[in-house]
Structure 1
Amino acid sequence: MTGPQEPHAGLPPELVASPDFQHACRKRDFSQIFQLAKKKAGIYPSRIAALCGMTPSRVGEIMSGRRSLAHIDVIERVADGLRIPGAMLGLAHRPWEIPVGPVATEQAPGHFRPAEPDSAAQEAAEPSGIDELLTLADGKVTRSTLVALQSSVEDYWRRDDEHGGAALRPAVVGHLRYVSQLMNGAEGSLRHDLQSLAAELARLAGWAYFDARQYSTARTHFSQALRLSRGQGDYLFMANVLSCMSLQATYDGNPADAVALACKAQDSAREAGAQPLVMSMLHMREAFAQATLRDSMACHQALDRSRDAYELARGRETEAPSWVRYFDESKLIVDTGIALARLGDSARAEPLIAEGLRRESATQQRGRAFHAFWLATAQLQQGSLDAACASATLALDLTASLDSPRVAGHVREFHQRLAPYAQETPVVAFEQKMREILG
């Protein structure tokens, strides 16, 4: 029971299959799960704590019912530590359940260490299914194959923007494995381009799992993207991946890590020539993290650097990589507002977020829902209950056409903030709509 690859990490198969254990998993009753692990498998609180990245006292509080688990990342750690299949806890398949494909080493929560460099051969999975075997027998990879795959990635990003990333996960991961196999049959520049495509697919997979709030699996794919891009010396794309990891760390309650990752991303981008639009986006990532740390001075300094870099980029957008061109003036404005809202400066945040929301394309469903949530947050901070509920209702309307647990989670978070106003008419109407849309 020492290695992370052992099935169930010591939970007997008969326990995992038992009705009591399965019922506890369906309810996410971790008090009962831990008690059954102790009673039926002899796994005591100190061992549960070590396996799941928690303190023994916290495990004891959960077992006694004095504390519950709601944070998705902690639930994932429990699933991974005790080797509980993801589906039993309402999660996607965990990385250790999937026999095909490379799995990056998980780091302890709150501590980031980039994965060690790996060869392209190590990135490719061993063939274990009919699709992989047929791919190996296909013969030479052509340039047209690469063009078709690149077109698919562009379509994935469009669909992610319009409808959220959660539903894209199986398709993206399948394409990632396919490209990893194609790399075995390619040489020279074609192999190089396929490796770049694999890095982009790994980043997209990480983003899709991040949007689904499955942070451990997201880190696995982000780490893979980081290895692939570092293997090619593509420092600009490394900065892109690190920026995604910084944003996830902000969400995951690790703002100090988020700052470190954003700063490392900036260093990586400077290695590639400090492209101004990329630097503007990366400084904004740092501003988000500093705002979460409530470091007002550092946040404002990062916002100033983001704005200055954007001015340098103005008129030179076509020189920037395609993956950063989403960061236009509207995005700069609305993200500045969000950073200020995170700091609690709602009076300055509200008009900026409202302006950014007004400028955004109607096709940017997830972005508009996300920004409507932050507009509602800024309005509620100022005591404007009617306006806040109206903005939150817009976020709800947009969420109805999205598969983005991240955005839905924001809406539920806003609902919790309305508890002191539960009897007010706009709150009652919002709750009714929320039940209709989110259940």
Structure 2
Amino acid sequence: MPHPLPRSLEISPSGPLTGSVTVPGDKSISHRSLMLSALAVGESRIEGLLEGEDVLATAAAMRAMGTDIERGADGVWLVNGVGVGGLLQPGEALDMGNSGTSTRLLMGLVSSHPITATFIGDASLSKRPMGRVIEPLSRMGADITASPGGRLPLMVRGLCPAVPIEYTLPVASAQVKSAILLAGLNTPGITRVIEPVATRDHSERMLRGFGAELSVEVTNRGRIISLTGEAELKPQSIVVPGDPSSAAFLVVAASIVPGSDVLVANVGLNPTRAGLFEVLRMMGADITEENPRIVGGEPVADLRVRHAALRAVDVPHHLAPSMIDEYPVLFVAAAFAEGRTVARGAHELRVKESDRIVAMAEALGACGVQTEEFEDGLAIQGSGGEPIAGGATIASKLDHRIAMSMVVAGLAAKTALVIDDVSPIATSYPNFLETLDALRR
């Protein structure tokens, strides 16, 4: 799939952010909506699908394996599924672009189908290790040939019937859990995943919603998720809530720019995804939930955010899985707090689109913020609410969350800063910059 050309952007300090905005559909739910709709028999409707590059990579891959997927003129996506076990041999390599979620979850799907698929990606994705997914899927019988270091390009030769396994996650990872469960859909018997630390549970919720036989038991070993294979999935009408990871950037921006008052509408608040909002409230952020409701089995609310004086905290380690993608923008919030924030428990940041610990330490350091790097996070000395220095050129490192986080930091800097490449933002939040501009007017 085509990738955007690099584009630099200068971010100048902002006056108050005001107004009401919506954020794109939840990326995790969007991926899973397409995949599970493709495995149902009949037509599913998806409203609010995130139309960023990562999700479009998933759509393209499902089309390549025989699924009819169309976007209607009204923005509703229609998916005519082929049924569990019905995926076809793709005619060419599946280009995952920058999407680790697409890659890992689709590896699971392919692993229990009698097909072979080659996965390729961009330079950033090709550096990310896939070994944590390769290991359990190989136990289920898939033959996986990867590039050195367990990286892309790689080839998955599925086994049908695959072998059900019981697998304890060595590290908290919703992607690994989901890959195993998706492989289990076309595997006879019961596939079990044990997660000692709970991770986002969109897969469990959606699998049940599509009709899979799935149970979750909380034990002293952790959550035991059991899926009965050779499932028959039923088509659904899905409304995708707003992505809390995308909302996070606007929430932090409104919190640190004096005079701001912003309403972010229709934000998904699944407890396994809402850790950042809990930590920001611990820091003194003024965040209220309006019009709370349930949409498609997921809790949703409108978030009203006003500027507030933030204070440093030690981030509780148990919240890390529920905010792993939000650590970069949390580091930005900490840069404006009173005192020294310590945010650890996030080893996973080392193997995202970039090494986000290094990337954010360098970026904030270039703007005059003192940081201390740990293997699993950062300590940040805050400014006490004063503007940070700015005036630097920031390397986004092909990482959408680094780029967006430092755009937010630039809104409250003394002098303008330059992001060397904001094109990666299109992977998850294509109209992010336009949304910010609307709030600055």
TM-score relative to the length of structure 2: 0.34
TM-score normalised by structure 1 residue count = 0.34
Give the structure with the larger helix fraction. 1
The answer to which structure has the higher strand fraction is 2
Highest RCO, 1 vs 2 (Cα 8 Å, sep ≥ 6)? 2
